[in-house]
Amino acid sequence: MIEPASTTGPDRLPPAIGLVGDVGMIRRLKALALTQPLHDLDVRKAHLDGADFAVYAMAELGLHAIDQVTVAMDFDRGADHDQVRRRLVPLAAAQAPGRPAAEHERVASWVLHNLINVGNVNRGFEAGYGTVHADGRYERRRFDFKLLVEFADPHGEIYLRATDEAVTVLVGALDTDITSAQVAAEVALDTLIRRGRLADARSAAEAARYRTVQYAEQLRRHLDATRRNVLAVDWLHAMPALVDEALQHVEQRYRYENAILTHIRRYRDSADDADHKRQAADLVAIVGDCIRRHTQLQARLLEAGAVFRAEQDRQQFAVASARGGIDLHSQLLLPTLALPAGDAQRPAMAFFPGAVGVRTPRAPRVLDLVDLLLRPVVERDTLGAEVVEAELVALAEPARFDDETWARALGLLELDPAAPRRLSALLADARRGDDRDVADLVALLALHAVNPRVDASRQAGETTLTVAVDDGTPLHDPEFGGADLLVGRAQIVTAPSAAESSDPAGITSVLTEVRAASGAAVPAGRRSR
Amino acid sequence: MSWEPDTGAPDRQGAPIDTDPMNAGSVDSGSVDSGSVDGARRAERRRADAHDASRLVSFGLRPRLVPARDPDYRDLARRYLREAEFAALTQAIAAGLGLVVLDVSERAGLVPAGAEDSVFAVRIGDYARRAGGEHRAADRLLHALAQLAVAALAYPRPADLADASYVGRVSVHGVDAFVRETCRLLAERTAADDQNVDPPVDAPRLEAAWRLYARRASTGSTRDARRLAGSTTGIIARAMNFLVESGCLVQVGDEAGGTFRTTPRYQVQVRELAADAAFEELLTLGVITVTDGAGSVRVLVDEPALLEMTSAGEAADV
């Protein structure tokens, strides 16, 4: 756009000057436009329903939001929505302490959504400006920009990154050379500390940190492009220059920041004012963070060469094929994207029907059509279908022995306390019926009675319980083996308190409690032991 | 429909139906006396052929069916490849229905394409119908571009399109990154040409297509955690799901926003029809790109050591 001065005659001089001025003008207009969304926040808060939002300084919250995202940005990721919102809520609360927490939450979300510009399909902003052409023609143009952009990580989680434009708005250094601005910030910071102006020093340190983020972002983008195609990035001149510059820069800044850190520490330790002390401590933290970021950037810079070489090896030695055919990328996609939107429609839409193939048309019967037309609109429930409350029934295992068997078995064991019986005799009685299970149950009950649960029976209020004692007689039975137990009924009496206290829970107490009612069964058992 | 698959052989008796356009009325008109039995048998065979040929067309109209999964389909495809007469008959039946047989192979089966104004053809208007309002034109273009981009990444090299055994692998995020990278290249190119002035306000159709794409958000959070339909990944996902329904892609995984592989049918459709149609349009617009046939996109084999999670779907890079 800038014409060489030699070709301009005396009569063409004014427009040429106008154009040179125009470039700066465009930059300033764009810089101005970038602040617009922040001002809009304060303008539009009046239209928010629900409450009076005039107390909130929305632009301030907006700047804080961009701040949070920028600080959270590192080489690979950004901030997630919740994280930013969480940080904004206390700020909103500080602005309007009397308001409910839900409102603070709402304000924070509103600010964040507006900075992403959720309502716009592009999720971005646009601003208009005009340029004057060399021939005096005035043309309106549109400037598209974004402040916060959403990206998806490999797992599909969405995170936010601040755009270069947003960082520029924050730093306030509109359209300036990164390097010189950084050095200027450095010097300013150093002087400010020496003079003891810590609040200013703090803002300068923060500005320096944002620039570091910008540097890293630039490098990241170049490395990403290199991974896709080595040839896409100029590794002969531009990239080595950038890496050298950045490395030099890191080195310089590292020296500076360490010097500054020493200064501030000294200041912090010698300051008398508590407020100054705290400010200095804050500054130490910020500069510390700067140093950490620089170390990270330096590590990436040192890797950059290796990335390039690895990618070159990987990409250059890929097998190239020599067969012809249409090249979808360079012959179709690239030229189509380069066309103006109006023209690009034609090739793109010509491609579509062929690529997707055929569809069998679905022709409903007239009868179905009537149904279809008369069917009321399905109201979509945001919550989806109601979850059916399942009726859960505890899975009960069927009893091994049925009631009749139990009745008969227990009937057999209803012994006269005075007359204990042998197990073999009981089994013989049980087998007399046609139910074979009765014998099984009797055997089991007898076995159970060898060590009866006296406490449980007593608590249940029973006065007698079945006991079985092994007196050494072997059992001769086709189905069961072991001892031919002596089964009888014993009476439960409350033990004397002395016995209880001396042996509260032992087996001896059981034995003392169970005094033989029969006079035969238990003594017999005791004898055998 | 009359060509609905029917397992029984044609056994309808009565007057011969003149469905065969190839040799109608040319064989048996004079030979009734000498061999009426012979003539009747020939007519019956002709009907059987017509039945088989239309059956093959009907198989071709079921986009997700492949010969490998249906022995009848496989036999008919083989017969098409073997018998020139049967092939001609099939093509004639397809033509009558408003279809063009692009290719028949054992791998892809019969691949039909809708002739112009055919009831079987899909129109972009039906596809991108939901878009409305001021972004209607932009959305339609983005939808169409997404289809083009999916194909371009699915077959990154010219040779891939020609190689019938090639199976492409694409992912939603991969395609988005691919187009955005192309947009970046174009932005750099225009910056180098010193044309990097912003688009005029009142002429949206003069704005370069890549700007339209680059400006659109690539992803976005939604209230119900679904993919944002208007974002570029949303548009690409829709394109891919549509291709899945059309039997052009098969989903193989969920990584990178959904990963898909191509089917032989898709390759035939892109190679035989879509690419040429788009290329012709570009020619009419005066855009001619000459390549050496080696391809501008290099396909790299990712070394396992360098393999990242995201690069699984992005084997091909700009």
A332 to chain B: closest CA residue:
B279
Tell me, what amino acid is at A426?
Answer: L
Shared domain for A150 and A209, answered yes or no, is: no
Q: What percent of chain A has pLDDT over 90?
A: 0
Residue that wins the pLDDT comparison between A528 and A173 = A173
SS3 B310: helix
A162 and A39 fall within a common domain? yes
* pLDDT for res A93: 87
Task: Report the pLDDT averaged over residues A17-44.
Answer: 73
Q: In chain A, whose CA is at the least distance from the CA of B147?
A: A352
> How does DSSP classify residue A2?
P
Q: Do A352 and B210 touch (CB under 8 A)?
A: no
Q: Is residue A488 within 8 Å of A471, Cβ to Cβ?
A: no
Question: Last residue of some domain: B91, B121, B151?
Answer: B121
DSSP H or E stretch at residue A487: strand A486-492
Mean pLDDT of B148-158: 85
How far apart are alpha carbons B49 and B85 in whole angstroms?
10
Same domain, B13 and B116: yes
Q: Are residues A219 and A124 in the same domain?
A: no
pLDDT-derived band at A201, boundaries 50, 70, 90: low
Query: Which of the given ranges, A152-166, A292-306, B32-46, has the highest pLDDT on average?
Result: A292-306
Query: Which CA distances in Å does B70 have to A37, B56, B65, B73, B109?
Result: 61, 11, 8, 5, 10
Spatial separation of the C-alpha atoms in residues A110 and A123, rounded to whole Å:
14
Rank A4-13, A224-233, A445-454 by mean pLDDT and report only the highest.
A445-454
Question: How is residue B313 written in tokens?
Answer: 């779907």
Q: Do B281 and A347 touch (CB under 8 A)?
A: yes
| Same domain flag for B181 and B262 | yes
User: From the CB of residue A220, how many other CB atoms can be counted at a distance below 10 Å?
Assistant: 16
- Which residue among A314, A335, A366 closes a domain? A314
3-state secondary structure of A50: coil
| Cβ under 8 Å to B: A residues 80-139 | 81, 116, 118, 121-124, 128-129, 131, 139
**A182 and A150 inside one domain:** no
Is A375 a member of any domain? no
Confidence grade of residue B293 (pLDDT, cut at 50, 70, 90): low
If asked whether residues A154 and A189 sit together in one domain, one would say: no
DSSP B247: T
Residue ending a domain, among B81, B99, B121, is B121
A429 and A297, same structural domain? Answer: no
pLDDT band at B3 (very low <50, low <70, confident <90, very high): very low
Give the pair of three-digit tokens for residue A216. 């890293």
Under the banding of pLDDT at 50, 70 and 90, the label for residue A502 is very low
* C-alpha to C-alpha distances, B24 to A69, A463, B13, B31, B215, nearest whole angstrom: 76, 107, 18, 14, 60
- Going by the DSSP 8-state scheme, the letter that residue B272 receives in this structure is I
Read off the pLDDT band of A506 (50, 70, 90).
very low
Q: Please, where are the H alpha helices in chain B?
A: 36-60, 71-82, 84-97, 124-127, 136-154, 158-162, 172-192, 209-215, 232-245, 264-269, 275-284
**Following DSSP, what letter does each residue of A142-201 receive, concatenated?**
EEEE-SEEEEE-TTS-EEEEE-HHHHHHHH--TT--HHHHHHHHHHHHHHHHHHT-HHHH
Segment B220-250, tens digit of pLDDT: 777 666 677 778 888 888 888 888 888 888 8
| Whether residue B91 is found in the same domain as residue B136 | no
Q: Which residues of A touch B215 (CB under 8 A)?
A: 122, 124, 144
**Would you say residue A382 has pLDDT above 80?**
no
Across A394-423, average pLDDT: 82
Q: Answer yes or no: do A33 and A142 share one domain.
A: yes
The reply to whether B135 and B275 lie within a common domain is yes
Q: Is the pLDDT of residue A259 over 80?
A: no
> Using the beta-carbon criterion (under 8 Å), do A123 and B231 form an inter-chain contact?
yes
- Residue A378 resides in a domain: no
Weakest-pLDDT range from A164-168, A182-186, B165-169, B210-214: A182-186
pLDDT digits (tens, 9 = 90+) for B7-23: 444 444 444 444 444 44
DSSP lists the bridge partners of residue A138 as A132
Neighbours of A319 (CB within 10 A): 9
Ranked by mean pLDDT, which of A36-40, A50-54, A138-142, B221-225 comes out on top?
A36-40
Please give the DSSP secondary-structure letter assigned to residue A328. I
Mean per-residue pLDDT for A232-247? 78
Q: What's the CATH number where A235 sits?
A: 1.10.132
What does the pLDDT read at residue A196?
Answer: 60
Q: How far apart are CA A216 and CA A239, in angstroms?
A: 14
**Based on the domain organization, do A211 and A79 belong to the same domain?**
no
- Residue predicted with more confidence, A81 or A318: A81
> Is-contact A450 A485, C-beta < 8 A?
yes
**B164 and B91 inside one domain:** no
Q: Does A17 touch chain B (CB under 8 A)?
A: no
Residue B171 has pLDDT above 50, yes or no: yes
Q: In which band, very low, low, confident or very high, does the pLDDT at B291 lie, cut at 50, 70 and 90? A: low
List A residues 359-388 in contact with B (Cβ-Cβ < 8 A). Answer: 359-361, 382
Is the domain of A73 the same as that of A220?
A: no
Do both B12 and B66 map to the same domain? yes
Q: Looking at A128, A143, A171, which one is the last position of a domain? A: A171
Range of the domain at B245: 126-317
CA atoms within 13 A on the CB side of A195: 11
A430-444, pLDDT tens digit by residue?
888 777 788 888 888
| pLDDT, average across residues B27-45 | 69
* Residue A344 in domain: no
For A230, the closest chain B residue by CA position comes to B318
- Measured in angstroms, the CA of B196 and the nearest CA of chain A are apart by 10
- The answer to whether A380 and B245 have CB atoms below 8 angstroms apart is no
Of B101, B121, B141, at which residue does a domain stop?
Answer: B121
> Is A7 domain-assigned?
yes
| Sequence-ordered list of residues with C-beta below 8 angstroms from that of A429, at least 6 positions apart, any chain | A412
CA dihedral (A107, A109, A115, A121) positive or negative: negative
Check pLDDT > 70 for residue A169: no
Q: Judge if A105 and A182 occupy the same domain.
A: no
**B97 and B137 together in one domain:** no
Q: Can you list the pairs that A167-173 forms with residues at least 24 positions away whose Cβ atoms lie under 8 Å?
A: A167/A66, A167/A70, A167/A210, A167/A213, A167/A214, A168/A31, A168/A34, A169/A34, A169/A35, A169/A38, A169/A66, A170/A63, A170/A66, A170/A67, A170/A70, A170/A210, A171/A207, A171/A210, A171/A211, A172/A207, A173/A207
Q: Tokens 């995984």, residue?
A: B253
Q: Which of A327, A337, A355 sits opposite B158 (nearest CB)?
A: A327
Phi, psi of A482 (to 5 degrees): 110, -150
pLDDT > 60? residue A85: yes
Q: What is the pLDDT of residue A501?
A: 44
Q: Specify whether A216 is located in the same domain as A272.
A: yes
Task: Tell me the three state secondary structure of residue A492.
Answer: strand
**Within an 8 Å CB–CB cutoff, is residue A350 touching chain B?**
yes
With CA atoms as reference, the chain B residue closest to A145 would be: B215
Domains contained in chain A, number: 3
Query: What is the chain A residue with the closest CA to B116?
Result: A353
Measured CA to CA, the distance from residue B151 to residue B141 in angstroms comes to 16
What per-residue confidence (pLDDT) applies to B213? 86
Question: Same structural domain for residues B300 and B189?
Answer: yes
If 0-12 CB within 10 Å is exposed, 13-18 middle and 19+ buried, where does residue B61 land? buried
Contact list, B208 vs chain A (CB under 8 Å): 337-341
For residues A401-422, give the mean pLDDT: 82
Rounded to an integer, what distance in angstroms lies between the CA atom of residue A92 and that of residue A105?
8
Residues 143-202 of A with CB under 8 A from B: 143-144, 149-152, 154, 156, 158
Cα nearest neighbour of B183 on chain A: A337
Q: What is the ipTM of this complex?
A: 0.71
Query: Which pLDDT does position A407 carry in this prediction?
Result: 85
Q: Which of A152-166, A187-201, B58-72 has the lowest mean pLDDT?
A: A187-201
Is residue A110 in a domain? yes
Given A171, A205, A226, which residue is the final one in a domain?
A171
Please name the member of B272, B277, B308 whose beta carbon is closest to the beta carbon of A350: B277
Q: Which among B157, B182, B150, B148 has a CA at the least distance from the CA of B299?
A: B157
Tens-place pLDDT, residues A343-376:
888 888 888 888 888 877 776 677 877 887 888 8
Interface test with A, best of B241, B298, B311 (most A CBs within 10 A): B298
pLDDT digits (tens, 9 = 90+) for A143-158: 888 888 888 777 777 8
Please compute the mean of the pLDDT values over residues B145-172 and round it to a whole number: 83
Task: Over range A91-98, report the average pLDDT.
Answer: 85
Kindly state the average pLDDT of the residues B33-50: 82
pLDDT for B129 equals 62
Please check whether residue A11 lies inside any domain of the structure: yes
- pLDDT score recorded for residue A210: 72
Question: In this predicted structure, what is the pLDDT of residue A21?
Answer: 47
Alpha helix (H) ranges present in A364-517? 366-374, 403-413, 423-430, 437-448, 454-459, 497-502, 507-513
User: Within this chain, do residues B263 and B169 fall inside the same structural domain, yes or no?
Assistant: yes
Overall domain count for chain B: 2
Q: What percent of chain B lies above the pLDDT cut of 90?
A: 0
Cα B202 to Cα A141, A419, B99, B156, B195: the distances in Å are 8, 115, 42, 36, 18
Q: Using the beta-carbon criterion (under 8 Å), do B200 and A139 form an inter-chain contact? A: yes
- Residues in chain B with CB shorter than 8 Å from the CB of A223 are none
Range of the domain at A515: 403-528
Mean pLDDT value across chain A: 74
- In a domain? residue A391: no
Average pLDDT over every residue of B284-303 = 61
* A163 plus A182 within the same structural domain: no
In chain B the first and final C-alpha atoms are separated, in Å, by: 47
* Same domain flag for B138 and B113: no
Which range in A371-385, B21-35, B246-260 is most confidently predicted, on average pLDDT?
A: B246-260
Residues B130, B115 share a domain: no
Alpha-carbon distance A450 to A484, whole Å? 12
Beta carbons of A124 and B217 less than 8 Å apart:
yes
Same domain, B101 and B59: yes
Average pLDDT (A116-145) is 79
Distance CA B87, CA B83 (A): 6
Whether B298 contacts B317, CB under 8 Å? yes
Other CB atoms within a 10 A radius of the CB of residue B213 amount to: 26
